[in-house]
Amino acid sequence: DFSQFEFEQEFSLVSQAPVNTLLHFPEVDDLGWRIITHQPLSETLGPVEAQQRTLFVLAAGVLLMGAVGAALFAQILARPIVHLTQAAVQVSEGDLSIQARVESQDEMGTLAKTFNEMTARLRQTISLQEQRISERTRALEV
């Protein structure tokens, strides 16, 4: 059993236990003596507090590395989407010569490849329409 008290403006832990001998000498056992130990609380809890600080720093480091890793991973995942979005914006502004980057063989790569095929077909369709309009205009002029 431990008790806590303040001694010399510092909290301490105090414990007591009977004095016993290893070889059981009755005259010592019958004295009724007690051993009282005194240890400042800061000394008792110092190693625990040091370990808590170390654990806190370690946890903060792991969290920081996790956050940086997550940010990098998100950027890697978002890059193809950003490139494809930029290409789509340029096409919507009338630039059909733009080609999306095919950076992978997954769904994003398939989407970029399909986007490029779509713009190629649009260019071809517009070219055919212009050719027909030109032919009809010449036919009307004759």
More confident residue, 41 or 120: 120
DSSP class of 106: S
Both structure tokens of 83? 């490139």
In which band, very low, low, confident or very high, does the pLDDT at 93 lie, cut at 50, 70 and 90?
very high
Supply the pLDDT for residue 37: 67
- Phi and psi dihedrals of 13, rounded to 5? -105, 140
Amino acid (1-letter code) at residue 2: F
Domain locations along the chain:
2-141
pLDDT tens, position by position, 98-111: 999 888 889 999 99
Q: How far apart are CA 46 and CA 11, in angstroms?
A: 13
Please say whether the beta carbons of 44 and 13 come within 8 A.
yes
Residue 14 has pLDDT above 80, yes or no: no
Taking CB atoms within 8 Å and a gap of at least 24, the contacts of 32-40 are: 38/7, 38/12, 38/13, 38/14, 39/12, 39/13, 40/10, 40/11, 40/12
pLDDT tens, position by position, 48-75: 999 999 999 999 999 999 999 999 999 9
